[in-house]
Amino acid sequence: MKFQTDQWVIYDPWKDKPELSNPQRAVILYVFKKSERSLYDYEIYIDSAKGRYLKAKESDLYECLPQI
């Protein structure tokens, strides 16, 4: 898997559609083992005012650049 637990990422399931795109900062909570995977690869927490827990595909995530 590309990402690890406790790693910050950007979650954007609509990155291919600019009119719907809304990138959000998230942290990886759990990486599903190969035997546990059906559709999703990770459990994440969206760091926003609402603060949501989601299951996400690796293709919907990309690296979060470190803040300086």
Task: Convert the pLDDT of each residue in 2-28 to its tens digit.
Answer: 999 999 999 999 989 999 999 999 999
Domain that holds residue 41: 8-63
Torsion of CA 48, 52, 57, 60, to 10 degrees: -20
Residue 36 lies in a domain: yes
What was the pLDDT predicted at 50? Answer: 86
Q: Is residue 46 part of a domain?
A: yes
Report the number of distinct structural domains present in the chain: 1
Would you say residue 41 lies in a domain? yes
CA distance 46 to 52: 5
As a whole number of angstroms, the distance between CA 54 and CA 42 comes to: 8
* Domain assignment present for 31: yes
Q: What is the pTM assigned to this prediction?
A: 0.85
List, for residues 15-65, the tens digit of each pLDDT value: 899 999 999 999 999 999 989 888 999 999 999 878 899 999 999 999 987
**Minimal CA–CA distance to 60: which of 8, 7, 19, 9?**
9
The CATH number assigned to the domain holding 53 equals 2.30.30
Q: Considering only CA atoms, which of 28, 4, 30, 15 is closest in space to residue 60?
A: 15
Is 68 among the domain residues? no
What confidence score (pLDDT) does residue 49 get? Answer: 79
Residue that has been written with the tokens 């399931």 in this structure: 13
